[in-house]
Structure 1
């Protein structure tokens, strides 16, 4: 191991960074003291310009305003020389923390702020016995809806009800304060549990930095991809009711501004068939610090209240925001795994031929890195900085599988596999395992390192986009045609449990990082009467705030399940413990069988010898399958525990095949030893 890297007992965290935790807490407390728009000076003072006091207050809330203080912690010091930016130390993290619990604060109910609630429940101490070694908290940054809801002119937008993205490096009040985080981090350190989370996304919320750039405050110029539109072209913009009444530009409006030379005629992104929705939008008339009225067009992400940071701007201000976020999260807070959401930057560059033609559409040649500029460049640079502070970088967006080889040629440690969980969910619903088999075979043929893939929900309300807004329990009820809440002890309850394990089995039973959420582990179901609901973070159903909004739980809360050996939580935990003990996260996918008639098998070689076999039966009937093996083995056993009512796995002649019995819609995991 290279000198200067963190010690193994603390997952290679530098003692230097631990010593900086106190400084981090002071910074966090300082940030928490500057809260809430209602404490701001008045936005309007009768002056023919934006109120200077209000602008100064906004600067103190902004991400860019916090960057110098954070950068000063490392700039010009020896701290930048402790770790290589190019180091890829995937095996270290996979051995220490292959299995993660993923928490999204917007989807959880607790009687107190979440950092405090997690600490009061002593959750980090409980996780290792459940097979979970990591706690991924995302998104944590303060969300931008407080700014749009209380904008200085009272303006509103058609997208005001959309989920607000973070627009601050300061934790959202729903998560809590620095003291609570510090106690949680210390508890996790003592328990050997790693912490992780996401940086600010490339498409942030509409917050202080955006407002200050639109106010023409010089030090914020170039932060976002924004262009000032001269008054003579305002007729080409949609009407707006106020400063922050942001409106999308239609194709005709974009074309008119392109004819004026204000917007590019085409971007590489325009021809990426898989890219998330994005486009150009316009603000209302914004009065600047100089007293001038301006209207702006800017690039937005999923909706108009998600402006995109301008990575290519020569001022480098967007890069400084990401750098400051990395210093805070990885360097000062000591979080091990850092998620990066840079999808909004993919293809955000002018097409060289002016047509917007880019590889990647159906039937075209494989994508090249240049077609995704500056997205991959930004990912690589952010990953290098995270490495320099001793952490690991995770590409957290749900991107097409074809991008994995491109992403993993750079310094990014892990990239998200959203396609495999989605295909597993579809297999349960349809009984068709062919799409899942096709994905695994394609990855095998392309030589994708499965150990560098991450599967499962990362934020997003506890459900990844691959689940299409449905928990495994909801999917299972649909597939099985069961009533809304089958009793856990009935045959229907056992069938529901096995169907949920089928969905989760295709992330637990493959190499790489596995993420699970409270929604998945509790069997969360849609609330009565429809709409959105919350899952208790740990407490019993009667012990958390917002009980009226609680999701129905097929398996019970985590607290209720913890003490029951036969609970769903404990069954998943036994699989996760076996996964870690075998080293499967570090394994190598070597063979894929089946894909027809509703069954599929994936065989992975283990780092210390032997193999892990994951077999799924998505059909509606019990079946016995014989799986050929690439090499002779001496024993075959269930990876975690015997399956009631089914015969144990049996080896064929010479140990070159294994016979596995499965019930309908069931996944089984078999350890093969030489």
Structure 2
């Protein structure tokens, strides 16, 4: 094991590797399900037992005993503290991450295998990328439901979510991942991913609970509706023809005492769309037909796990997922998506303070924060780091970081940067940065990345970083032909990424952003090459035009966009900026904004962004005097120009829609 790798100690690692070998030999990795499952019904007046047994083998809860046995009653529970705070260790080892999403990547082979064949982990450190974040990996729920939900509910990327611990076929097998992880270990690259979200896909666990299979009660927040109340439910053509409940139907069921009249979540102005839905008629193991109402997340086919059920089934699922991902697979960073649990409780009779979303209140978020805290402790117990991965309001960051969670996603800053570029106005970005500074948010514990699978989604649906930049420049969403337009596009994209690169904390980047991917002709979703030029999967979305070229081509070109980003990332790692502290925000008027972060070993990192279309010369104030100033990273020729720094100000010249990073040496 190489020095400084932030994983469990050597004795624990050896035990884990042995367990993993046994586990993979016995099918603990991706287990290939039967090609043709038993029929859901064979004419009997009850659910077919063979089909139920097959479903259990595919379910998350069905794998809990197998995974829990890997650590229950063993010394492995005592190798790491569940309350450990080791944020600096990970920030020194892996401040910069490449984020991969199989749904938007074209690959002729399963993705784990393609990454291994391209030897991608070995190529990343030279580019300033020390982490490989793979998510979402779990088998998606849409494979279990042939029909889309009614009422125009979204499908595909917006609607599906993991419904199994097994990797989705687009990623490959557990054995494929093990080979990739071994290569990453040897290259000094950390791996990470996400646990199943609290709003999962509709899959085996949901179906088994609806059939009242033994041991599966209480997994999801769902209630059996008496037959006399079926008239209050929407009509359904079949079992899993799930339909949303209209407010009037919810009110009628609440009058019957079947549903709560209100939830604290209903008062959270920022909460993602959610509600109640109903299944069709489901035949149970006892032969009885039942209809269920259940809580769903952003789409009807995203049922929400029931964290507060006294049986603790949802907690057992997350515990097993942590054992698998952190303990057995050795993934360093684990993302948690528990937004669907925020406010999923009945308010007290006297009301819930802060429930209108105007002020953060821990009680109003029950049981979401408690679930985050407990899951983070579990991840720590197996030697990993926990990251809150949902796009929560910035005002909630202090509450999240007050617990054991190591990092929380900062969605506000990238979105404000996109708005600044689009509108030529830096005031919203400056306001967001000042609010974070005034709130005392520990920036080193923030994680920033793309807010959509293919890159940016700020503004219109389907935007990428490159298409958003072109729109800000007043250019059509196609690869620019002229050198001047290409240079302007490059500067605008560096402006967008600059507020991840130039602030403390974890920074994530997608292949689509680094390649300058644009929406495919005709609109809709598209895919980009993994790294090298590879053929797309059969039936995959169309390829996205790449304004900066394939990453494999850029890798060997010192003048490429990828190399420009990588030089900044290498400087970010060398100076320890990820461990720094945001100390000042200036500007906001006249289209420019600047931040200053102190560095762990002295000196400061200055980021200056000009969102306006005009070139300008700025005198940027500093919180303390600097001896000298130079560009934080060399250019393609290896030069790092010096800037004039006199006392408590530095002189910076910027073209329109440009961002510049300056390293300030302490006096």
| TM-score normalized with structure 1 length | 0.94
**For residue 661 of structure 2, what is the aligned residue in structure 1?**
669
**For residue 146 of structure 1, what is the aligned residue in structure 2?**
143
* C-alpha distance in structure 1 between counterparts of 2:18 and 2:168, whole Å: 20
Please state how far the C-alpha of 1:267 moved relative to its aligned partner: 0.4
Residue 517 of structure 1 pairs with residue 510 of structure 2: yes
Please state how far the C-alpha of 1:159 moved relative to its aligned partner: 3.3
Residue 463 of structure 1 pairs with residue 455 of structure 2: yes
Contact 1:148 1:156 survives alignment (8 Å)? no
| More off after superposition, 345-354 vs 9-18 | 9-18
Residue 345 of structure 1 pairs with residue 341 of structure 2: yes
* C-alpha distance in structure 1 between counterparts of 2:511 and 2:34, whole Å: 32
Residue 231 of structure 1 pairs with residue 227 of structure 2: yes
**For residue 328 of structure 2, what is the aligned residue in structure 1?**
332
Count of equivalent residues: 660
1:593-672 paired onto structure 2 within 5 Å: 593-642=586-635, 648-653=641-646, 655-672=647-664
SS at match of 1:142: strand
Please state how far the C-alpha of 1:36 moved relative to its aligned partner: 5.1
Match of 1:133 among 130, 133, 147: 130
| More off after superposition, 338-347 vs 13-22 | 13-22
Match of 1:284 among 280, 284, 307: 280
Structure 1 residues 250 and 73 mapped into 2: Cα distance closer, same or farther (>3 Å)?
same
Match of 1:51 among 33, 48, 51: 48
Contact 2:338 2:390 survives alignment (8 Å)? yes
Contact 1:164 1:205 survives alignment (8 Å)? yes
Please state how far the C-alpha of 1:161 moved relative to its aligned partner: 2.8
Match of 1:248 among 234, 241, 244: 244
* C-alpha distance in structure 1 between counterparts of 2:24 and 2:271, whole Å: 35
Could you report, residue by residue, the CA deviation over 1:622-654 in whole angstroms, capped at 9, with x for unpaired residues?
Answer: 10100111211111000002599x99453343x
* C-alpha distance in structure 2 between counterparts of 1:389 and 1:647, whole Å: 43
| TM-score normalized with structure 2 length | 0.95
Structure 1 residues 593 and 491 mapped into 2: Cα distance closer, same or farther (>3 Å)?
same
Residue 121 of structure 1 pairs with residue 121 of structure 2: no
SS at match of 2:469: helix
Please state how far the C-alpha of 1:13 moved relative to its aligned partner: 3.0
Contact 2:97 2:129 survives alignment (8 Å)? yes
Contact 1:101 1:135 survives alignment (8 Å)? yes
Contact 2:154 2:299 survives alignment (8 Å)? no
Could you report, residue by residue, the CA deviation over 1:264-308 in whole angstroms, capped at 9, with x for unpaired residues?
Answer: 111000000000000000111100000001110000000110000
Structure 1 residues 456 and 291 mapped into 2: Cα distance closer, same or farther (>3 Å)?
same
**For residue 3 of structure 1, what is the aligned residue in structure 2?**
none
Please state how far the C-alpha of 1:542 moved relative to its aligned partner: 6.4
Match of 1:161 among 155, 171, 185: 155
**For residue 274 of structure 1, what is the aligned residue in structure 2?**
270
Could you report, residue by residue, the CA deviation over 1:165-206 in whole angstroms, capped at 9, with x for unpaired residues?
Answer: 110011111100122111100100010000000000000000
Contact 2:559 2:636 survives alignment (8 Å)? no
1:190-209 paired onto structure 2 within 5 Å: 190-209=186-205
Residue 496 of structure 1 pairs with residue 489 of structure 2: yes
Please state how far the C-alpha of 1:558 moved relative to its aligned partner: 0.7
* C-alpha distance in structure 2 between counterparts of 1:241 and 1:491, whole Å: 58
Could you report, residue by residue, the CA deviation over 1:501-543 in whole angstroms, capped at 9, with x for unpaired residues?
Answer: 0000011000000000001000000101111110100122668
Residue 81 of structure 1 pairs with residue 78 of structure 2: yes
* C-alpha distance in structure 1 between counterparts of 2:34 and 2:146, whole Å: 10
* C-alpha distance in structure 2 between counterparts of 1:271 and 1:543, whole Å: 45
* C-alpha distance in structure 1 between counterparts of 2:611 and 2:386, whole Å: 34
* C-alpha distance in structure 2 between counterparts of 1:613 and 1:194, whole Å: 28
Contact 1:536 1:544 survives alignment (8 Å)? no
1:442-453 paired onto structure 2 within 5 Å: 442-453=435-446
**For residue 263 of structure 1, what is the aligned residue in structure 2?**
259
Contact 2:394 2:412 survives alignment (8 Å)? yes
1:23-42 paired onto structure 2 within 5 Å: 23-24=19-20, 27=23, 30=27, 34-35=31-32, 38-42=35-39
* C-alpha distance in structure 2 between counterparts of 1:324 and 1:312, whole Å: 17
Structure 1 residues 361 and 597 mapped into 2: Cα distance closer, same or farther (>3 Å)?
farther
Contact 1:621 1:663 survives alignment (8 Å)? yes
**For residue 426 of structure 2, what is the aligned residue in structure 1?**
433
1:410-429 paired onto structure 2 within 5 Å: 410-429=403-422
Please state how far the C-alpha of 1:464 moved relative to its aligned partner: 5.7
Contact 2:282 2:291 survives alignment (8 Å)? yes
Structure 1 residues 538 and 380 mapped into 2: Cα distance closer, same or farther (>3 Å)?
same
Please state how far the C-alpha of 1:20 moved relative to its aligned partner: 2.2
Structure 1 residues 166 and 538 mapped into 2: Cα distance closer, same or farther (>3 Å)?
same
Please state how far the C-alpha of 1:11 moved relative to its aligned partner: 2.2
Contact 1:638 1:649 survives alignment (8 Å)? yes
Please state how far the C-alpha of 1:104 moved relative to its aligned partner: 0.5
Structure 1 residues 561 and 542 mapped into 2: Cα distance closer, same or farther (>3 Å)?
farther
Contact 1:109 1:534 survives alignment (8 Å)? yes
Contact 2:457 2:463 survives alignment (8 Å)? no
Could you report, residue by residue, the CA deviation over 1:313-338 in whole angstroms, capped at 9, with x for unpaired residues?
Answer: 00000000000000000000000000
Contact 2:456 2:464 survives alignment (8 Å)? no
SS at match of 2:145: helix
Residue 480 of structure 1 pairs with residue 477 of structure 2: no
SS at match of 1:167: strand
SS at match of 2:453: helix
Gaps of 5+ in 1: 1-5
Gaps of 5+ in 2: none
Contact 1:148 1:160 survives alignment (8 Å)? no
* C-alpha distance in structure 1 between counterparts of 2:355 and 2:415, whole Å: 21
SS at match of 2:197: coil
Structure 1 residues 432 and 33 mapped into 2: Cα distance closer, same or farther (>3 Å)?
closer
**For residue 307 of structure 1, what is the aligned residue in structure 2?**
303
| More off after superposition, 184-193 vs 154-163 | 154-163
* C-alpha distance in structure 1 between counterparts of 2:597 and 2:645, whole Å: 19
Structure 1 residues 27 and 617 mapped into 2: Cα distance closer, same or farther (>3 Å)?
same
Please state how far the C-alpha of 1:408 moved relative to its aligned partner: 0.3
